[in-house]
Structure 1
């Protein structure tokens, strides 16, 4: 199944349990327009509501992930304080839609992944990159600042001092340096990236989706500062013991077969 958003600048396909969202402006290195930011929540909602999609992978067309927000629109979107606030709210809504998706997400990063592009990648659970990828966040070179939500996700990934270094300098990182800083989780050769992402997506899709989604929710609570179980997390644990995925997983283990988890 295929969907198109923002006049084809966002393409969504769903097959074999995996949704693939492609940023599709290769002639502009997939720089994100206001129309794309506005359409992203609808694309994410489509993934959330489709039981055929267990995992979402986000990628870019033409050998780039995304070179950031489209600077060609800055004169218009930042024309007034009100227009700037509205534009920032649209970007924040798009970022939060991806970050808050209950299903597991993977960023497949080729070429430039800068500014808002890296912001989107940081909204994904796992980031896998080509060894030719270039990553950075450059508001310091434009006299801008990164939003609190985007900055928080960067700090969660690399820690406060490294986040400050990246933001203060606006420098561009190689894939290997990004890996050493834990900004990304894996580096592949350019020709192997798509296959590695597909294999990771299938490995996640073949496991229990009930477990994956509750795990994602628990990790979010930990990052938000929760340190002890509460009534909700205790209920989730007990629910798991009564769930159909646990019954299938237990039986498959005892019968020495591969489980087929029913939850979607």
Structure 2
């Protein structure tokens, strides 16, 4: 059996710590939408150099925001079961080290985006600022509408991807941003519902746990209907093809049907989890479909 030197084990552990604090799952989820919007805007003309800069740049910017979020949320993470084992909460990394790491990631990420074009850099900066400053430092803890405010930052990666491919602001960009916003709100409400115990412990004023399930379901339904209309608009404006329309409408109608079940379910958390899972399925499918542009 091979013997791994203690120093090597220590190095591997350090790498794992630095990786986990960036929230890789969030980065990967955003990369799917970034790549889809980039290919949609590129119109089958792939610039490998720009694509690589985009992947590295947006990954580092998102990672920077997530590390800052870990620092800011250290106090509330310690009381939530889901986050109690995070690196900073357990004292496995100092806040100062995490801060330096976040700044380095941000600097590298923004430098990459700036080397693509100014629009990609600006939308990346808007997304980072909304997530770190407006959402993490204020809205998440103080406002019942924190989810809506946070959705602005969540929509920016798709804007960055589109601008990296097209380098312009047009109707396609605006529709993508709105689609992302109207997708995120029911997605986040679902998270709040099935993880309500944790959020209550941390005194986070989520809309989906402060109001009764019927009202939350109505709001989810409205957002999903608008999401559906916006998805159709991409086809009507000739940004996507017939195959995209057929698949997306089937998925959207299923999401609407799934949402309607929330009005009479006796198992709210189970329903919310299914809403969350399907929201991941539909945004991933959407990104794949606009990327192929059929």
* TM bucket, shorter chain: under 0.3
**Higher relative contact order (CA closer than 8 Å, sequence separation 6+):** 2
What TM-score does the superposition give when structure 2 sets the normalisation length? Answer: 0.25
More helix by share: 2
Higher share of residues assigned strand: 1
